[in-house]
Amino acid sequence: MLITHNGKTPTVHPDAWVAPNAVLCGDVSVGAGCRILYGAQVIAEGGSISLGQNSIVMENAVLRSSAAHSLTIGNHCLVGPNAHVVGSTVEDEVFIATGTAVFHASRIGRGSEVRINAVVHLKTRLAPASTVPIGWVAVGDPAQILPPGEHDAIWQAQAPLNFPLTVYGIPREEADMVKITTGISERLGSHTADEVAG
């Protein structure tokens, strides 16, 4: 399903294929040879989303952008089932496995692998040909790749990245759930004017 959002309608190359129950919303561009499978959600809210040639988005993956963080997926990439990728730059030939999470303002270098249930945190930069092992966390610039049991080390690298400011526009010391959800509600209210385009 193609949905016009904020006056922008997705464009799909004639050689691409989008499953009938996948959703493309807003300023989305899908390149030649791409395949977007059943249940995938590709939602551009302010920023654009661009998929290069021959990239695959598997079942129930969620790709998002925001006004501050566009999303670019390069050529010959695969985004696995149930993965969540938002506001990132993913270079060519990257494998993003099942259940991974890739956050705002990150960059994944060419030929990298982010394996099952791994995390690439916001503002993290993975060098080309990097591997984030199953369930591990990549955080920082340059990336530290840490096992999930290393919470203190992960937090030490993550805290200065200021997730609430980067994602919600609210400094950490001012962030609370009332401010966060009110802001999100206001931004998502823009969908009330969406129209099905095809």
User: Which pLDDT value is given to residue 167?
Assistant: 86
State whether residue 5 is helix, strand or coil: strand
Task: Report whether CATH 3.30.750.24 matches the domain 2-196.
Answer: no
User: Which pLDDT value is given to residue 175?
Assistant: 86
Phi, psi of 174 (to 5 degrees): -105, -10
CB-CB contact of 106 with 123 (8 Å): yes
User: Which pLDDT value is given to residue 160?
Assistant: 84
The radius of gyration of the chain's CA atoms, rounded to the nearest angstrom, is 17
CA 80 to chain centroid, in Å, comes to 12
Q: Checking DSSP bridges between strand 49-51 and strand 107-108, what pairing results, if any?
A: unpaired
Domain ranges of the chain: 2-196
DSSP state of 8: B
* Residue pLDDT tens, the chain, 198 long: 899 998 999 999 999 999 999 999 999 999 999 999 999 999 999 899 999 999 999 999 999 999 999 999 999 999 999 999 999 999 999 999 999 999 999 999 999 999 999 999 999 999 999 999 999 999 999 999 999 998 898 888 888 888 888 888 888 888 888 988 888 888 888 888 889 987
User: Which pLDDT value is given to residue 82?
Assistant: 98
* Chain position carrying tokens 């990298």: 112
* Chain position carrying tokens 């030490």: 156
User: Which pLDDT value is given to residue 159?
Assistant: 84
CB-CB contact of 64 with 81 (8 Å): no
SS (H, E, C) 116-167: CCCEECCCCEECCCCEECCCCEEECCCCEEECCCCHHHHHHHHHHHCHHHHH
Count of Cβ atoms closer than 10 Å to residue 15 Cβ: 12
Peptide bond into 142 cis (omega under 30): yes
Nearest-angstrom CA–CA distance, 101 and 54: 21
